[in-house]
Amino acid sequence: MAMFTYTATDTSGKRHEGSVEATSVGAVGQILARQGLKALVIKKEVKKTNVLDIFTKAKKVKAKDLVIFTRQLATMIDAGVPLVRSLATLQSQTENPVFKKHMQEVSKDVESGTSFADSLAKHPKVFSAIYVNMVRAGEAGGILDEILKKLALQQEKDAKIRGKFKSAMTYPTVLVGITFTVFIALMTVVVPKIGKIVGDLSGGKLPPLTQAMLGISNFLTTFWYIHITVFVGLSIFIGRSLQTEKGKLIRDQLLLKAPAIKIIVIKMSVARFARIFASLMTAGVSVIESIEITSKAIGNKVIEAELLAAAKDVSNGEQFSVPLSKSKIFPPIVSQMLAIGEETGQTDSVLLKVAEFYEDEVDAAVDGLSSILEPLLIVVMGGMVGVIAVSVIGPISNLSNQI
């Protein structure tokens, strides 16, 4: 995708200038034609790279920035402020330079006559398919302010779930890092020195545990360059593999098989599915399109495949609750509640209750996992240090008994 600038005229002969992201000049012409414009000049932008651009690109648009923008925009539109003026005001107030740049382009497109949803769709790294589709539905129904409020709420809930999981895993991650660092330090610095002293005093006769520890220590210190090379190589390989579709699928399959993690992943996925799907249905997006958008937003390839298969069944005339009831991942209560919603015509409100229930379940599951992992890791860390200590203290104790 590249950025193109254009000069075009509408049916009344009025000139319009702007920029659009597309794959080619021909694609730009097609985009303009759909907007009722006739292209006069289309040029591909050539951007000069400087140090400032590199630092700007390194920054990202945070979820918090997007939530604040969405809430403020909803308030301004609800107050009767025109969309173009609202965007210009929010753009001037935005502190994030990356977000400000995106907002400038969106504001420029809207001012030139492009719909708000189409303008947002040109920035997929900032505005997701859920965001764009809900805005499009809000524009079509004349309820953009209400839709933006629902969007902000949905984003806040989503961020809360992810934040809860990350914060709960921070302490165990730090403990793992400390355990690994202490082990390496003991095995490469402390054990070799003490082992040499003990070996000299005992005449080379050491207990099996001490010999094993010294062997591991010798292996780590002698072939350190091999360990570093393997570690760096594996890190790069795993990092690149996780960028591929196959790698993501394998990762998600493993997450859904891990005993303790599996429960949290499923509950997080159900909570996100229920809230996002309900939000899209409230906005008036079709069932099939809502399923497809939601499947990609959950972030798990296994669940995405299940939902896309369900979308095919729905397109063949089945109620969504029927294929969902056959799922090996979604709990039965989800399909049962969805069936009730389909029967009463209140799918969105029923699924919001499901979302609230599973969001509370995620909180409880994360707290439970954290309470289990923390003492377990402390025991593991203590055990490792204890084994090393015993392997060193054992020979010293034998020597003292011989004296």
pLDDT of res. 243:
82
pLDDT of res. 204:
59
Both tokens of 220, joined, read 């780590």
pLDDT of res. 202:
63
Per-residue pLDDT of the chain (403 residues; tens, 9 = 90+): 567 888 888 887 778 777 777 767 777 777 778 777 888 888 876 554 444 444 444 457 788 888 888 888 888 988 888 888 988 888 888 888 888 888 888 888 888 888 898 888 888 888 887 788 888 888 877 888 888 888 888 788 877 777 777 777 787 788 888 888 888 888 888 777 777 777 676 665 777 877 888 888 888 888 888 888 988 999 899 888 888 888 889 988 998 888 878 888 898 889 888 888 888 888 788 889 888 888 888 888 999 999 999 999 999 989 999 999 988 889 999 999 999 999 998 888 899 899 889 888 888 887 787 777 778 888 887 887 788 777 777 666 666 655 5
**Matching residue, tokens 């029927």:** 322
Q: How far apart are CA 163 and CA 62, in angstroms?
A: 13
What HEC string does the chain produce?
CEEEEEEEECCCCCEEEEEEEECCHHHHHHHHHHCCCEEEEEEECCCCCCHHHHHHHHCCCCHHHHHHHHHHHHHHHHCCCCHHHHHHHHHHHCCCHHHHHHHHHHHHHHHCCCCHHHHHHCCCCCCCHHHHHHHHHHHHHCCHHHHHHHHHHHHHHHHHHHHHHHHHHHHHHHHHHHHHHHHHHHHHHHHHHHHHHHHHHHCCCCCHHHHHHHHHHHHHHHCHHHHHHHHHHHHHHHHHHCCCHHHHHHHHHHHCCCHHHHHHHHHHHHHHHHHHHHHHHHCCCCHHHHHHHHHHHHCCHHHHHHHHHHHHHHHCCCCCHHHHHCCCCCCHHHHHHHHHHHHHCCHHHHHHHHHHHHHHHHHHHHHHHHHHHHHHHHHHHHHHHHHHHHHHHHHHHHHHHHC
Q: Give the residue extent of every domain in the chain.
A: 1-47, 157-271+316-403
pLDDT of res. 336:
92
Q: How far apart are CA 209 and CA 355, in angstroms?
A: 53
Dmax over CA atoms of the chain, in Å, equals 108
**Matching residue, tokens 């303008």:** 119
The pTM assigned to this predicted structure is 0.66
Q: How far apart are CA 355 and CA 276, in angstroms?
A: 9
